[in-house]
Chains A and B, each alone.
Chain A
């Protein structure tokens, strides 16, 4: 099941601060919704454990995140893969750190996910809504962390 999302967050912090934040594997890992545990492997790799509840499917997913920053264009790409209880998700997301010139920062993001296994069987609309909520929550968490 292929799912595609995009959105943007306006963050009350400077582009430089946001750019530094999104390259930090520990901080990015902590922005995953329902995150239970974050283990940084190296500056671009982090393992995370998250609680997942999609319809009747509930449990913990073990995820591997890889951060691929491009300093020249201030774009961060992210690959997330993993799963649990017989399900797997492969997620790619990218975010552009944009300077609107008012001292704040725009984070324009898009992502797509492929789900397989019991979570994929939950049914398109439930899964779609849930995945959208999770991915939107992740970027909203980035905003909250930086605005706090």
Chain B
């Protein structure tokens, strides 16, 4: 594997990350590193109640706290027309600060501005709020009864938010009824949280020109600028959003949170810069959670294991406001990917969402919208079907895979899968794994009463939102963009509408430009996150950077190349039509000796351009013709301790097919990171609420993040099936490991316990759950 960067041929090179020297030296520049003269600190009063009427708020004692400059409440904001904030997809609104009542524990109730962080925290303690508790609705099934209406502010007096469905309802019902074999299972994907190491925060101030300067931890700076213009009424040219280095995002930094609005209002009202940095607890309890889908999955099949139909009915817990991060026309995101890698003759999926007294969210945590939930459901259910039919889960999958010759494949739930070779990916995994030997070992262990499990997940993702005819956020189409300027010496700068949070864009974007223009990626600077300089784009989430902005960069580079061809023709004294781009150089067709490099052309573009327009730059806004469909085969091998319920992940193999690979080292790093998160979700993480709506996982002692001690060793391999519609064939990979791995882990544990008759365990698969499942199974047998 080459690790050298060089002019041309930079695609597929494991170039070291250009951003890493500053990160590993502690020189990253994060929002909390920003300080302004006269800056105030914002801290938020939050509700201890999950549902209560606010009878009064007394700020008088808080105003006496030394250093406290101002306290604002929901009523103040409402009077200024800023009481409510539209949610991500524009289908609901959410209180900035509580008005009249609180709807979830830790909801923002008042904002305190003070000279120091400590004074702001003291001010928060001194605000007296008189609450009258109201009945708590802590799960979607209680919500469904409408006994307590949580959102009287809405026109429809029901807790039901939406019903969404796709596919053939009647046909699926008929096919299921006619199927000789059927399985059904409720599968809950628990509420979890992206928990980026850097929580959310901002610094807001109005400069001497009255322009809002807004530094913020945002995955989508342009969307923030437009949304802030709409919400606050500040003209969009008077808003400058800057997203500095981000310490992780994973979807958590896509929505606009009440703290941001309060900081801006405080900066305007007091006339001083305001910083707001949330605490770990505030991040875990009030910002966008993920999942919380209760999925009833039914599959019909023939006795020999050919699937006939799929039906999935989901109850979605959206919390107090419908702040799920989904494109406007997709309230349940890309849940239609639930047919997965399998050629179902018919299918129907439906989702009903409900309000509860929990934090709002439903963001795409390291996955394209709701894809992880869908993938988990189908991969878990296929194993249950295999168990029911007494067929090897590998054979069941192989029998039902979409075949290579079926691509582009129209799925029954509305997607057109671009490319893939699922059989090859599976075979690659089986070979790397030594599957037959593992099966033999498992049989021997079972004979001795030992519990060993092998779990597969052969997932397909849908990423890269998305084509403008389907996808928008607040009406803005989900294209992305790139601007490339090549300087006279052949160095250059590329700016994109995306925002790296650790993905390595500073390296991979430079590699795309290097490949397309034959320039050294070391001298291609990448800039993102500044709305004054970057072209408009929808940001980085849902694995859309490479599928959308990566494509825009390649296309902008090709525009640069077309311009350069004119200059090259002048330099080569040839007609433009006679000049071809070959071996990373312009050459006269058929005369390889007569050639010029892009570096030479760049210099000429500023010094010797003849009749051509000076300069060498281009911009491209890329509207993707389709989504991309990364896929893979993941396998977990586990040993379960029968006495303690402890699960040891002995091996984990990830074979990914993400199309063309830009930087194999970064791809591998992305897979390692995503697998570690998937491992945490499968075994450790859940945001739990008790019946009073108390959040029980408010810090890292209760919401566990794996360290290197817990994390298994990851084995990786790949197949490459380029996307036919992407300019360089890339599909995106950052989210595949988080999407694909939870099912492999759980399938392995259930496989280990299957001799005892265990059929399903909900995540997180903690030791006590496994222990209990073993004990219950043994009790049934005696």
Contact = CB atoms under 8 A, between A and B. Distances in A.
B698 A116 contact: no
A86 to B, nearest CB: 6
Interface in A101-121: 114-118, 120-121
Interface residues of B, number: 19
A44 interface: no
B694 interface: yes
Contact of A120 (B125, B690, B699, B701): B690
A83 interface: yes
B667 to A, nearest CB: 38
Given A56-B701, A118-B281, A88 B694 contact: no
A84 to B, nearest CB: 7
Given A1-B690, A56-B701, A117-B105, A87 B696 contact: no
Interface string A18-59: 000000000000000000000000000000000000001000
B694 A117 contact: yes
B48 A121 contact: no
A77 to B, nearest CB: 20
A120 B692 CA distance: 10
A83 B48 contact: yes
A85 interface: yes
A63 to B, nearest CB: 14
A120 B701 CA distance: 14
Given A1-B690, A83-B48, A86-B48, A118 B125 contact: no
Contacts of B701: 56
Contacts of A117: 48, 105, 694
A7 interface: no
Contacts of B50: 116
A54 to B, nearest CB: 13
B697 A116 contact: no
Contacts of A88: 48-49, 131
B48 A87 contact: yes
Contacts of A85: 125
B694 A86 contact: no
A63 B406 CA distance: 70
Contact of A116 (B48, B125, B699, B702): B48
Contacts of A116: 48-50, 105, 692, 694
A105 to B, nearest CB: 36
How many interface residues does chain A have, given as a range?
A: 10 to 19
A115 B50 CA distance: 12
- B48, B692, B695, B701: most-surrounded residue (chain A CB, <10 A): B48
A46 to B, nearest CB: 18
Contacts of B690: 1, 120
B88 to A, nearest CB: 27
B402 to A, nearest CB: 45
B240 interface: no
B117 to A, nearest CB: 15
Interface string B34-65: 00000000000010111000000000000000
Interface string B101-118: 000011000000000000
Interface of B is mostly: loop
Nearest to A116: B48
Given A86-B48, A116-B49, A121 B702 contact: yes
Contacts of B692: 1-2, 114, 116, 120
A56 B696 CA distance: 14
B699 to A, nearest CB: 8
- A56, A83, A88, A121: most-surrounded residue (chain B CB, <10 A): A121
Interface in B684-731: 690, 692, 694-699, 701-702
A88 B692 CA distance: 12
A1 B48 CA distance: 12
Contacts of A87: 48
Given A56-B701, A84-B125, A85-B125, A120 B49 contact: no
Contacts of B281: 118
A1 B138 CA distance: 13
A121 B697 contact: yes
Nearest to B121: A85
Interface string B121-146: 00001000001000000000000000
A118 B46 CA distance: 11
A121 B46 contact: no
Nearest to B45: A86
Contacts of A121: 694-698, 702
Contacts of A115: 694
Contacts of A114: 692
Contacts of A56: 699, 701
A131 B240 CA distance: 51
- B281, B694, B695: most-surrounded residue (chain A CB, <10 A): B694
Contacts of B699: 56
B49 A1 contact: no
Contacts of B46: 86
A81 to B, nearest CB: 10
B110 to A, nearest CB: 13
A1 B691 CA distance: 7
A96 to B, nearest CB: 28
B211 to A, nearest CB: 36
Contacts of A2: 692
A121 B693 CA distance: 10
Contacts of A83: 48
A82 to B, nearest CB: 11
Nearest to B698: A121
A121 B701 CA distance: 11
A118 B49 CA distance: 11
- A86, A114, A115, A120: most-surrounded residue (chain B CB, <10 A): A86
B27 to A, nearest CB: 32
A111 B537 CA distance: 59
Contacts of A84: 125
B551 to A, nearest CB: 45
- A56, A84, A87, A116: most-surrounded residue (chain B CB, <10 A): A116
Interface in B370-391: none
Given A120-B690, A121-B694, 19 more contacts: A1-B690, A2-B692, A56-B701, A83-B48, A85-B125, A88-B131, A115-B694, A116-B49, A116-B50, A116-B105, A116-B694, A117-B105, A118-B698, A120-B694, A120-B696, A121-B695, A121-B698, A121-B702, A123-B696
24 contacts: A1-B690, A2-B692, A56-B699, A56-B701, A83-B48, A86-B48, A87-B48, A88-B48, A88-B131, A114-B692, A115-B694, A116-B49, A116-B694, A117-B105, A118-B281, A120-B690, A120-B694, A120-B696, A121-B694, A121-B695, A121-B698, A121-B702, A123-B696, A123-B702
| 9 shortest interchain CB distances as A-B pairs | A117-B48, A120-B694, A88-B48, A116-B48, A121-B698, A121-B696, A86-B48, A87-B48, A1-B690
